[in-house]
Structure 1
Amino acid sequence: MTSRPVRIGVQIQPQHAEYSAIRHAAAQVEEIGADILFNWDHFYPLYGEPEGLHFECWTMLAAWAEQTSRVEIGALVTCNSYRNPELLADMARTVDHISDGRLILGIGSGWFEKDYQEYGYEFGTAGGRLDDLAESLPRIESRWAKLNPAPTRKIPTLIGGGGEKKTLRLVAKHADIWHSFGDAKTIERKVAILKQHCADVGRDPAEIEISAAVQGKPAETGQALLDLGVTLFTVGTGGPDYDFTELRDWTTWRDEVNG
């Protein structure tokens, strides 16, 4: 068992909804008591009508920074391919200040080919995109050290993905939070691999918060994941009608576990 408190995140997927519905959903998330409010970094819906309503990630995070007052905010996850790393660092620092220190920089290497094609980014290969992420992360960290004013805190970096050779090594080197998908058996294997990467780079794996995407009721999966060291549990909900039934179940469970 870990000494970290259980935290609950929710991803409001910015698709198939007017912005007024997204704004209202963000307010509900804070009222319900979630710990982290995420969106995602895409230009088109990931499911449902492929040309449906959709909004951009980082301008939305800046709006959420003003709208909310307690919940942490971030992208699950930013696509490294879409912005110059120094610019992204500056955007993150700015939203960090707007939010009074509540931003989490969620980042990944990117995968949704339609975004790349429609917006003119080179899709390349999965390996190449991971190599680009490996180059970008030190540049982001370096830029944070140069910005005036500096970030309000060490901005937590969340890296999403479960690639065992490259992604988990980047997590070991750079991440404060690792976000993954899969059942308990999958996560158990990947946690073991992450611990080996941490040993290889001289990092204490206990420094890294383990996050998992979850569905359904916490009674079904919560304890098994908690026993593996997962302490951040994130549910997702899409538009046009954002449903927070699962979020309420998980926040109730969180309060029971944390005591």
Structure 2
Amino acid sequence: MPFTLATWNINSVRLREPLVLKLLEEEQPDVLCLQECKSPVDKIPVENFRALGYPYLVARGQKGYNGVAVLSKIPITDVGDMDFAGLGHARHVAVKLENGVTVQNFYVPAGGDVPDREVNEKFGQKLDYLTEMRDWFHAERPEKAILVGDLNIAPREDDVWNHKQLLKIVSHTPTEVDHLAQTQDAGGWVDITRQDIPEGLLYSWWSYRARDWSGADKGRRLDHVWATPDISNAAHSSRVLRDARGWEKPSDHAPVFATFDL
């Protein structure tokens, strides 16, 4: 039975509850993974989500920052979380669908502004987080799994608006790209978005600083959908809902979708 999954850094689920409702009503994904919810779990506004046919919620929350959640039409089971790099942040949660597929929802640290761990602790935390993800996937080789989330790295040259200009900018530095590649390789993960859309510029994030974000189009693909090789061929119909970046009081990220025939 096919199911459609979406991932979205919502940048406050309470502030942008109307946008989540709009997405659920108009696009009707079976599973919606949110990052940067900025809310304790008990403060997530579940009533209106349930009214739209999304009765299932698994989340990890914090007051004011971080936070990940999975909303679903179909039954999901909480299968835990990991605190990589020992940050004490709500950055990961995993659920299992009834068909046996595990969905890993991640919010990787952004890494601050300076790509040097000696002068910027946050950059070091980001690299350590990715290293521990890598080691976990080496030890617990994932099967029948999907990994989604704001990984805060645009790995390919065509995942950013200007490769050369962004080589020293956090999210596209060679060090980060290498760490992400090692993490991906450790789990054997297939980049589903680029499997479906192999060529061309593709973004999921546009800075709030740009007055005309769409016209300037200085984007980066920071949000990802990966799958293990045993189910990657079942994936199709990947897309970025770019229009959502232009909704009223938007997140700076757009949702990324994929459908799996499983």
Relative to the length of structure 2, the TM-score reads 0.40
Structure (1/2) with the larger helix percentage? 1
Higher relative contact order (CA 8 A, sep 6+): 1
Structure (1/2) with the larger strand percentage? 2
